[in-house]
Amino acid sequence: EKDLGTDLAKVLIPEADLQAKVQELAGQIDADYAGRDLLLVGVLKGAVMIMADLARALHSPASMDWMAVSSYGSGTKSSGVVRILKDLDTDILDRHVLIVEDIVDSGLTLSWLVSNLRSRDPASLEICALLRKPEAVRTEVEVRYVGFDIPNEFVIGYGLDYSEKYRNLPFVGTLAPHVYGGGS
Ligand code: PRP
Ligand code: MN
Ligand code: MG
């Protein structure tokens, strides 16, 4: 039987820490958007877990919509190309939009997404990202709600994949080098 555990180098953020952080972020978002009609925009597929947990942790009603964009190929490196695979179903004109992402790595996906959505004239546009890598801190993308700043390692789990696998892990971990051919 294949054991997910053998593919892991280590658990970076345990499930309980993720869930506690989601509650904390939801509390801030509830306070900031009090009395406003909030539209959560999840970025498929990585944001599925944070979107589902964050939305359920909010105390005020929020709408949910999804975009699918891709900046990575199937491997561990960013391709530098952002494509829309699925656009929003919602017209965001005059809406309060909060983009929900699993991770800001190079910041390429979010900087492209922000300028794309801004051109549709929402009433407001902010970002919530569960994870942020060091490079992203240096980009112009301003992330209003950040869960964790993490080291520059390849992370999987809680929505994050390696070649479409490991998204279903309930925690965030790093991948063992043998999985991507980086050692034995
Ligand atoms: C990953 C991740 C972010 C983006 C971050 O998505 O979920 O959306 O890359 O990288 P960046 O800051 O360097 O642009 P990916 O394109 O792998 O698609 P996925 O969400 O379907 O896994
Ligand atoms: Mn993604
Ligand atoms: Mg991916």
Per-residue pLDDT reduced to its tens digit, 56-113:
999 999 999 999 997 755 555 565 568 899 999 999 999 999 999 999 999 989 999 9
So where are the chain's domains? 15-72+81-153
For 123, the 3-state DSSP assignment is: coil
Q: Give the pocket of ligand 1 (CB within 6 Å).
A: 43-46, 70-72, 78, 101-109, 161
Q: Which two tokens stand for residue 164?
A: 């479409």
ipTM at complex level: 0.98
Per-residue pLDDT of 20-72, as tens digits, reads 999 999 999 999 999 999 999 999 999 999 999 999 999 999 999 999 997 75
CB within 8 Å of 175: residues ≥ 6 apart: 7, 8, 9, 154, 155, 156, 162, 166
**Is CATH 3.40.50.620 what the domain over 15-72+81-153 is classified as, yes or no?**
no
Spatial separation of the C-alpha atoms in residues 58 and 63, rounded to whole Å? 11
Q: Name the catalytic one among 7, 53, 102, 105.
A: 105
- Protein residue whose Cα sits closest to atom 22 of ligand 1: 46
Mean pLDDT within 2-10:
78
| Residue 2 Cα to ligand 2 middle (Å) | 26
